[in-house]
Amino acid sequence: MRVSICAHGAAEEVTGSKHLLDLDGCQVLLECGMFQGRRAEARKRNLSLPFAVAAVKAVILSHAHFDHCGNLPSLVKAGFDGAIHCTPATRDLASLILLDSAHIQAKDAEYVNHRRKRGKDRSAVEVEPLYTEEDVVHTLEHCLTTGYGRSFSVADGIRASFLDAGHILGSALVVVEGQGLRIGFTGDLGRPGLPILRDPQVLPPVDYLICESTYGNRLHDPLGQTMDELAEVIVSTAKKGGRVVIPAFAVERTQELIYFLHLLHDQERIPDIPIYVDSPMAVNATAIFRAHPECYDGETRRAFADHAQNPFGFSRLSLVTDLAESKKLNELRLPHVVISASGMCEAGRILHHLVRSVPDHRDTILIVGFMAQNTLGRRLADREKQVKIFGETYPLRARVKILNAFSAHADYEEMLTYLRRLERKRLKGIFLVHGEPEAQANLKKVLEQDGFARVEILHQGEPVELA
């Protein structure tokens, strides 16, 4: 009997998750994420899947983040004919995210090919999208959903189940059982105390654990003060007659903000001003959050139980999908809050809002997420004196406030606290994936110092024997 695990993505990096489990010849793929990075390299890595697709019996998907589900349509296009197992909320969010990606890819290809035809970029080659909306629809037909805590069959003699991961709506820890072994996979491990979601569940005793390590060398601010800080920003900005602009990712971060704002509104801790969610994707994602109360924690259900309201809808909240309506928000002179995408201010409607708010000393730009190098979001977070938007330079006069506590990943202390609850007698090894080298090295050191035996960092394309 041979059992092995091989990382074909998210090995010593945080993108393109794909981990192939081989249980005595039966191959099960954990995740099929999109690799994101420099254009040419990303395209090359996403086009050719580095394993025999026909040999893959089934896919198990832990959650709907793009770097975990984004390349499933390429797998199906390449001939994969098995089931894609996930939770119901993951399926719904993955549907939204994959269709959005197909749409963006079609637009991108159209733009590049148009420039090429007009001789503006002779070096460019004719580009085809990796997949189309139709490919996404075929992919969704493969999804088999199972709720948390229910065992399901993956292949002959192989079963699996999902536990709460506390990371995003529908996110799961995965337990796979076969060939007399029990293998755990963290997917992305969330944090205790996150709004909306239940805390990560303790895994049953496992023989091996495949563990993420994104924040293996970082510590987050405590979550406790987030509500107070959010209230302070809104109260002080409204007093000045300004508005609060929040660039936020359309899925999860936007809904966390809606949840907090709803609570603050009910507790009368913020003035009664309008709150707009201005992003079609965020509006659709919010509808999916409304439809999955089975994923809410007890606190969320109790907080809104007495007035029969959904956490993701209240009187002061308006969801904006129409573009004309979005532009009208810029004429609004009374204090208000706008949550808009993209999260790093690289594109989308947030740019129109920033054009108005960046030079206005009454307004506040509230940063609630990670801003990558060389993005407008990073320049705002760094409080550069002036920034360029749509080619024009604007002086940064608005207040910039950063809330660091929002993170959906456990930091290394939270990770260690979580892993200490595993039964060690049975645990023979931990394999680290989904982390930059420095983060992985630190987490490995922290775990070894705590007495965990055989902590290994998986390398791209190099299988490791488990039994």
Residues that bind Zn ion (CB under 5 A): 65, 188
CB-nearer residue toward Zn ion: 57 or 68 = 68
CB-nearer residue toward Zn ion: 380 or 443 = 443
CB of 410 to Zn ion, least distance (A): 11
CB-nearer residue toward Zn ion: 65 or 356 = 65
Rounded to whole angstroms, the Cα distance separating 147 from 333 reads 46
CB-nearer residue toward Zn ion: 63 or 399 = 63
Phi (first) and psi of residue 214, to 5 degrees: -50, -50
Rounded to whole angstroms, the Cα distance separating 171 from 185 reads 12
CB of 3 to Zn ion, least distance (A): 26
- For residue 445 the two structure tokens come to 């050191």
* CB-based contact 457:432 (threshold 8 Å): yes
CB-nearer residue toward Zn ion: 17 or 105 = 17
The residues, ordered by sequence, that sit 6+ positions from 399 with a Cβ below 8 Å of its Cβ are 237, 361, 363, 364, 365
CB of 188 to Zn ion, least distance (A): 4
User: H or E stretch including 69?
Assistant: helix 66-69
CB of 44 to Zn ion, least distance (A): 24
Phi (first) and psi of residue 226, to 5 degrees: -55, -45
Q: E strands, 336-376, where?
A: 337-340, 364-367
* CB-based contact 464:458 (threshold 8 Å): yes
CB-nearer residue toward Zn ion: 3 or 86 = 86
* CB-based contact 98:139 (threshold 8 Å): yes
CB of 311 to Zn ion, least distance (A): 21
CB of 219 to Zn ion, least distance (A): 19
Phi (first) and psi of residue 375, to 5 degrees: -110, 160
